[in-house]
Amino acid sequence: MHIDSPSVSRAPDDVSTTLRQWLAVLAVAVSAFAFVTAEFLPVGLLPQIARDLGVSPGIAGLMVTTPGVMAAIFAPTLIIGAGRMDRRNVFLLLTAVLFVSNVVCAMAPGFAMMLVGRAMLGAALGGFWTLATAAAPRLVQGKDAAKATAIILTGVTFATVIGVPLGIFIASFASWRLSFAATAGLVAVALLAQALLVPRLPSASGLRIHDFKALLARPHARLSMVMVAFAFGAHFSTYTYIAPLLEQDFSLNAITLLLLGFGVIGFFSNALMSAIVAKHLVKSVAVMILLLLGAIVSMLLFGHSHIGETAAMLIWGVAFGALPLCFSVWIQRGTADYPEAGSAMFVSIIQVAIAMGSAVGGAIVDRAGVETDFMLGAGLAVLGLLTLQRVTALGRSGMARAAKGPCEPSLD
């Protein structure tokens, strides 16, 4: 059972992707690693940064909320503003902005300047992910599009495996400022890889506001975005504040190992799903949202149990290691005739979910405690499952209609 679009053109099966093309994909994956490391670095350092800059943990959560808001705004507007500009040049510009943002964060004298740096990150982030998810199929032969997307998203899991825990490790013997400085060095490497390996990506036509209107006119596209919002909202309303929850029972070194385990198992989950998701997309999404729900609920049920919380974190890693890939393939197929518009909407809705989830979660953490926040996350995951059921039913009903739109997704 999968969602597909009859209008997608596919390359012949005997046409192979070249080594040079795979290296270009790898360069974008390195950039994804740098962006995600920078985006979620504060999650593991939240208590230390809050103490040093004199704010509460809930207020410190604005370091995650602010980039989310900026990315949601810039995902569509930056791509519209770029017009027909070569997408390779846009990649390079956005990565340069990311470098500056990390330098600003590392040197921030107070929380206001920290938010300025985080806002710069968000502006670059929205444009980067819009381009990355839309460009993946262009970098390789058509039959390898899902694999290319999985490799780029492997940068996300590697950032969780190596980047964020390494940032915490650096902070444990030096300071969180050095963690941001090290991330700036990582971004410089990503910028060099892009300059050397990513080919020209000319755009035949600029993105138009009409493209967004055309997609939003499709019920399947609207419901798909709502489903993504609920699932990512469930994750980020809770994961943003995982450190304050875990530090009740674990040392800083133990938390580092837990986040490392979260990332390692997420990496293998992403790799496994890259071979499955193309044929079993709906089932894959359903299983991963269920695992996300199970992990969040388990953190509540087995609170203060080292074994229970460790198991929950590993289950959570399986879920979130695969969900970005599953949703990316879902959106690529459902918006194949408007790839950049679909990608921009996808990135925007994720960033809105990150911003709203972390902001509401922060308010709940400060006022009612982190356990109450996790109840919110569980509720959002349930809503994600219900929306998946509705959008799947809509796809089946679309199959039964003799006449349907040129890119109305179908289930088979």
pLDDT tens across 269-308, in order? 888 887 888 788 889 999 999 999 999 999 888 877 889 8
Backbone angles phi, psi at 407, to 5 degrees: -135, 25
The domain made up of 18-202+209-402 has a fold known as Growth Hormone; Chain: A; (1.20.1250)
- How high is the mean pLDDT of the chain? 82
Rounded-to-integer distance, Cα 175 and Cα 149, Å: 35
CA distances from 81 to 76, 78, 207, 342 (A): 9, 5, 8, 16
What pLDDT, on the 0 to 100 scale, is given for residue 370? 84
Mean pLDDT of 66-88: 80
Angle between helix 111-139 and helix 306-334 axes, rounded to 10 deg = 50
Beta bridge partners of 4: 410
* Per-residue pLDDT at 5 exceeds 50: no
Contact between residue 49 and residue 63 where contact means Cβ atoms under 8 Å apart: yes
What pLDDT, on the 0 to 100 scale, is given for residue 46? 82
What pLDDT, on the 0 to 100 scale, is given for residue 2? 33
* Per-residue pLDDT at 258 exceeds 80: yes
Provide the residue ranges of all domains of the chain, joining segments of one domain with +.
18-202+209-402
What pLDDT, on the 0 to 100 scale, is given for residue 412? 40
Kindly tell me the burial class for residue 178, based on how many C-beta atoms sit within 10 Å of its own C-beta (0-12, 13-18, 19 or more).
middle
Contact between residue 326 and residue 1 where contact means Cβ atoms under 8 Å apart: no
22-31, 41-50, 246-255, 266-275: which has the highest mean pLDDT?
Answer: 22-31
Global pTM reads 0.71
- Report residue 207's pLDDT band, with 50, 70 and 90 as the boundaries: low
- Report residue 14's pLDDT band, with 50, 70 and 90 as the boundaries: low
What pLDDT, on the 0 to 100 scale, is given for residue 99? 95
Greater confidence (6 vs 391) lies with 391
What pLDDT, on the 0 to 100 scale, is given for residue 316? 94
Percent of residues, the chain, with pLDDT higher than 90: 24
